[in-house]
């Protein structure tokens, strides 16, 4: 069985109600490969609007973050219960901006992953290294450091229900993109690392590339053996460009 391919749109703190409606209209009539999933992750205020406007069964809605607690006095946070209530299926966890700006440690990311899984959500686990770490030959050590606590907490079997997104921090929103060869080498390392715990599970995990993916470079990136789609930032704010990326898989 071939792995599921996924293209997820991470709007970050961008977009509005008009874009949400336009994106759904633009994608609802598209025909995708039967094994392909499109996920739209807008800011939290637009989750319900996206959900209400999706009519294509191969399009899903995802959140950009989740709190590790079921409920409580956590002003401004969003819980899995709320996402379930909105019929949200995916949630981005551990994005580099969350790790850097909001101090989401690998331990906290692990707790969020565990809670998302227990709540029936599919986490998109983001991992990646900084430019300094890559230049110092620390890429593999950094990725292992981010994956290890998740595996220890939820077990390798749980990765059948986790999507892993590799996002080199130095290529997010910078216009820089890892070459297809470098991206493939890193994805191959990630799959081999997972395979060191369970080879069968590793072959089932969708691995996405994120880092200034656009309509011009997506085909070469997605053609690589261990790249199963992308987590798309800026290019996902343009309906026509995002449609091209979705079709490129």
Q: Would you say 128 is a known binding-site residue?
A: no
94 is in an annotated binding site: no
**Structure tokens that stand for 236 in this block:** 């996902």
* Rounded distance between C-alpha atoms, residue 47 and residue 52, angstroms: 9
Tokens of 110: 């692990």
So which residues are the catalytic ones?
95, 167
Count Cα neighbours of 98 within 13 Å in the Cβ-side half-sphere: 22
Across 181-201, b (16+ Cβ under 10 Å) vs e yields eebbebbebbbebbeeebeeb
Binding residue per annotation — 212?
yes
**Is 12 within any annotated ligand binding site?**
yes
CA pseudo-torsion sign 180, 186, 191, 196: positive
Residue 233 marked ligand-binding: yes
Binding-site residue numbers are: 10-12, 173, 212, 233-234
**Residue ranges of the binding site for substrate:** 10-12, 173, 212, 233-234
């Amino acid at each position: 069985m071939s792995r599921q391919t996924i293209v997820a749109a991470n709007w970050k703190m961008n977009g509005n109600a008009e874009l949400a409606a336009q994106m759904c209209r633009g994608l609802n009539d598209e025909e995708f490969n039967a094994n392909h999933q499109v996920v739209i992750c807008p800011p939290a205020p637009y989750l319900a609007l996206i959900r209400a406007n999706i009519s294509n069964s191969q399009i899903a809605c995802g959140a950009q973050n989740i709190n590790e607690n079921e409920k409580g006095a956590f002003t401004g946070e969003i819980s899995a219960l709320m996402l379930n209530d909105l019929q949200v299926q995916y949630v981005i966890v551990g994005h580099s901006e969350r790790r850097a700006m909001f101090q989401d440690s690998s331990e906290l990311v692990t707790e969020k992953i565990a809670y998302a899984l227990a709540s029936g959500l599919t986490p998109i686990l983001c991992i990646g290294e900084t430019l300094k770490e890559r230049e110092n030959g620390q890429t593999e050590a950094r990725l292992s450091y981010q994956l290890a606590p998740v595996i220890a907490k939820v077990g390798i079997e749980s990765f059948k229900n986790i999507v892993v997104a590799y996002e080199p921090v130095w290529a997010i929103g910078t216009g820089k993109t890892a070459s297809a060869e470098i991206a493939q080498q890193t994805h191959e390392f990630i799959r081999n690392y997972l395979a060191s715990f369970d080879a069968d599970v590793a072959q089932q995990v969708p691995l996405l590339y994120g880092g200034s993916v656009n309509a011009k470079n997506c085909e070469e990136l997605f053609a690589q053996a261990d790249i199963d789609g992308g987590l798309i930032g800026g290019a996902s704010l343009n309906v026509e460009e995002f449609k091209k990326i979705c079709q490129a898989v």
